[in-house]
Structures are given as structure tokens and as C-alpha cells.
Structure 1
Amino acid sequence: MTAIIDLRDVTYTYPAEEETRPAVANLTLTIEQGEWIAIVGHNGSGKSTMAKLINGLLFPQQGTVELFGLPLNEQTLWEIRSNLGMVFQNPDNQFVGATVQDDVAFALENNGIPYQEMVERVTSALKQVQMEEFVNQEPHHLSGGQKQRVAIAGAIALRPKLLILDEATSMLDPQGRREVIQTIRALRDLSDVTVLSITHDLEEAMLADRVIVMNGGEKYAEGNPRDVFGNRDEITALGLDLPFAANVAALLRTQGVELPSTLMSEQELVDLLWTLHSNK
């Protein structure tokens, strides 16, 4: 596989900080093409700083950052950014167009994409996020989940190799979060885009190929989501909430119900409880 992101011994300390503790310290990380990686951690753990180091808003004070085989520096910054798309926390802060299609087309127009190709990309991107029926709708009339799906359409219309979701579901209600997560899953089925999801939502992180837990600016844990979140006491000690199904399963185990510690999804919980009930 091809490395999309390669961080080697990266350290960054904010200059305005009274403390000397780095926001990110000695971070080494490799992400391969086509992976979905979830970065989780409490506030101040370093995950947002990591995102800024990857998209070139910050440059490391120590160590190296490479994206798409290029070292990240002021000379390569714009070439690298042309291959990545960003979706941020608040969708309302991202809209610039009067209609949905205008908003998705905005970055394409700025990049000089020919008109006919731009029309095709806008149509394709909106179809991928199931928002093609809203092309002439004003963005502020949409629900939170719909707004974020339009923001994702604007990012993927640029046909990036890397899509970064920076707390993209944190301001949404449960229905909006489900819509966005389903959209990401569908994108993975349709393309080999690499997804880097920075999130507080462990339900979302459970769907990733690999999860990285940040704590105190350092990589605390890394691996398969089930293995990482299976360490219940360690994860909760970091101030993270386990998925709803994992918490329910833990409570049921205290009541004598035999359920595996790796159980994380609501569907798995329902299926296992139904099986236990049927066998009685």
C-alpha cells in the first residue's frame, strides 16, 4: 500500500502557551491509501493540533510531515492541499453560495475547473451524498445533517485523495450524525479515498479501520477499534465515553448476563440478547 500521511517524531508547542508542555510530542504515524482512521481523545489531547499539522496550518518544530510522498513545507503546501478536502465542525461557517449547487461549485470555480466539468462534478458529488434533490435549496433551510452532507459534497467534488473530518458530527443531533456517518461509509464503498476522522464520538470511531487515542499530546493507543475500546477502564480513565452498547453490555454483565467485552455496536447487542432470549 501507499502511504498518504507519514509523520515522524513530530513535536509542536504553541508559542503563546504559558506551559512548556508540547501540544503534540514525538508523534509518529503512518496512514495508508484507502484507510479510514479515527483520532479520538479528550479536549487538549492533541488531536486538533495533529489535524493542523497535517493540513499545513501549522508546521512542526521538530520532526517531519509528509503527505502524498511530498515533505510538507511552504513550497509544497498548495500542491498538497489540492489533494485534500476538509470538513469542519460547524457547517454554517462553511457556506458561501446562495444555493446548494453554488456552494459545492465554489471551490471548483476558484480552481479554474471548466464549466461543463464543474457541472458534472457538482452533480456527481451531490448524488454521492444523496443531496441531488436539494440543488436549488438555500443552505440555511437545511437540517444540520443535510448541511454537513453538502459540506462533504463540496470537499469530494475536488476529488481529493484525503478527506479530513474535524469534529464534523459533534454539533449534530443523533439523526444528523447517522446521516453523515452513512455518507462516509457510502463514500468508502464507492472510492479509495482516505478518511481521517477527528472525533469525540466513539460510535463513529468504531466504524474506522484503525483508531488512534491521543492523550497529553502523545499517541496513547493505536489499533483495531474493538481491541482499543475493549480496554474499558483505561479508556474511561482518559475521560472518553464508551459506545452506548458497550456501556449497556457492561451493566448487563454485572447482573450475570454473559456478554463479550468486545461488544460495541447496538445491532450486536440486540442480536446477542435476542439469541440469549431465544435459547431459554
Structure 2
Amino acid sequence: MREILTLNNVTFTYAPEDSSIKNAIEDVSFSVQEGEWIAIVGHNGSGKSTIARLINGLIFPQNGTVEVIGEPLNEDNLWNSRSQIGMVFQNPDNQFVGATVQDDVAFALENNGVLHEEMVKRVREALKQVNMDGFLNHEPSHLSGGQKQRVAIAGALALQPRMLILDEATSMLDPQGRQEVLSIVRELREKAGLTVLSITHDLEEAMMADRLLFMNGGKKFAEGTPSEIFAMGDQLVELGLDLPFALKLGKLLQKNGVNLSGEPMTEEELVNDLWISNFKN
């Protein structure tokens, strides 16, 4: 698989002239392969948002390199690199600029000089991909939180990016809106092979990833599958990261004498394990 994104020994501080200020991230390296879903998790101040800004070229590292599709990111290729990456941010209301849904999705295309006929086609296709094609002429302010984020995703998809970055994109949504957005992203990933990088506090979102990067104090503390990372258990809790509900409940049940064959990470896995271990026969 081809590498879409690579960080090589990246260090960044917001006050390089002040040696007393701690680095926001320090000597961080990781790569994202085409078609992967990677989640970056960690407590507030761990460096997650700084990584998002570095990837999008809003800031540049003091040391190390950020590479997009094999090219080191710099001021000369910044706009071309940004065209390869779609960003969806935390607050959908801060992203809307159009009077209608279709106007908003078309905004970035207009800025990139896409011809009108092609623009109309892309807008409709992108909204269809997120199940919002029936809302073309609706005002964004009248949509639910989940619908707004789906429109924001459509705006990113219309640019036909190689990778979609979700920067705390579900953190302000209610459970239904969060589920809507995550289901759409999972479907896009499965059907279109979209590469996804999610920066998140949401454990349900993190559990969908192929691989987790756990950031702590600006450094990459651990990297592995969701099962491998959450198997660290109390060590993660001590560092400010919660554990999945199903895993915590499973441990509590085992402590109280309930048979389980493993350590289920999702509610579905927990229910299946309970059934097989205690009721099937």
C-alpha cells in the first residue's frame, strides 16, 4: 500500500525563542497507508490538535518533515497538498459560508476554479455519498448537528481528496448525530477505500480504526490496534484516557464471577461473549 501521509521525527513548539516552554510535540513519527483508518487519541494537551495543524500546513515543524503523498510539505506545494486532504473540524457551524447546502458544498470548488458543470456534478455526488442529496436547497442553520457534519464531510469529499481528516468532528454532537457521522465515514471507507485519520476523544470512533496512536505529553506513547492499546488498561487511565464501556463492564463482570472467554471491546462483542460463555449450552 502507498503511504498517504508520513511524519518523520517531527518536533514543534509554539514559542521556539523561549526554552522554558515545552514542545507541543516532540520527535513524533508515524505513517498512514492508503485505505487505512488511523485514530490519534490522548488527553487535552497531548499534541493531537498540533498534529492536525501540521498536516494541514497551518504551521510547520522546527525539526523533522511532514510528507503528503511522498512530498515534503512546504510553502511552495502547500495548496496542492491541501487539495489531497479533506478536513472536517469540531464545530460544524464555524464551517458554513453558503446560504444553502449546495452553495456551501460548492464553495471550495469555486475557490479552486472548478468549471460550473463539473461543480454541479461533484456537489450532487458528494451530497449523495453522505445521504444529504435531498437537502440541496435547505439552509444549513436549520439542520441537526449530525446533518451539518455530513454536509461538512460532503464539502470535503467534493474536492476528491485522498484522505479525510476528522479533527474532533463528533465531539459536539449528541449520540444520534455522532452515530450518523461515524456510520457515513465507515461506509465511505468500505465502499470507496477512503483513507481516514481521526483525531478524537470518542472511544467509539477510536474503536473503528485499524490502528491507534496514543499521544501523551507531546510524544507518541504507544501505537497498535485498538485491542493492543486498550489492553494496557489501568496504565491508560492513569495517563488520562478512558477505556471502552464494554471493556470496563467485562472486567467488572469477571471480577464478580461471570465467565468471559476474552476481553470484549464493543457492546456487541460483550453480548456475544456472554452468550457463548454462559448460555449457549
Common fold by TM > 0.5: yes
CA gap of 1:13–1:45, structure 2 versus 1, over 3 A, is same
Q: What is the match of residue 101 of structure 2? A: 100
CA gap of 1:260–1:45, structure 2 versus 1, over 3 A, is farther
Superposed CA deviations along residues 62-88 of structure 1, whole A, max 9, x for unmatched, are 111111111111111111111111100
What amino acid is the match of 1:236? Answer: V
> How does 1:44-123 map onto structure 2 within 5 Å?
44-123=45-124
What amino acid is the match of 1:154? Answer: G
Query: C-alpha separation between the residues in 1 aligned to 2:263 and 2:77?
Result: 43
Q: How much is the aligned-residue C-alpha RMSD, in angstroms?
A: 1.5
Q: What is the match of residue 177 of structure 1? A: 178
SS of the aligned residue for 1:160 comes to coil
> How does 1:1-280 map onto structure 2 within 5 Å?
1-15=1-15, 19-279=20-280
| TM-score for the superposition, normalised by structure 2 | 0.96
8 Å contact from structure 2 (residues 251, 263) kept in 1:
no
| TM-score for the superposition, normalised by structure 1 | 0.96
Superposed CA deviations along residues 38-81 of structure 1, whole A, max 9, x for unmatched, are 00000000111111111101100011111111111111111111
8 Å contact from structure 1 (residues 5, 66) kept in 2:
yes
SS of the aligned residue for 2:131 comes to coil
8 Å contact from structure 1 (residues 89, 166) kept in 2:
yes
8 Å contact from structure 2 (residues 164, 194) kept in 1:
yes
Equivalent pairs counted in the alignment come to 280
Q: Percent identity?
A: 62
Q: CA deviation at 1:261?
A: 4.9
8 Å contact from structure 1 (residues 230, 261) kept in 2:
no
Query: C-alpha separation between the residues in 1 aligned to 2:115 and 2:38?
Result: 33
Q: CA deviation at 1:277?
A: 4.5
Any stretches of 5+ residues in structure 2 without a counterpart? none
8 Å contact from structure 2 (residues 126, 155) kept in 1:
yes
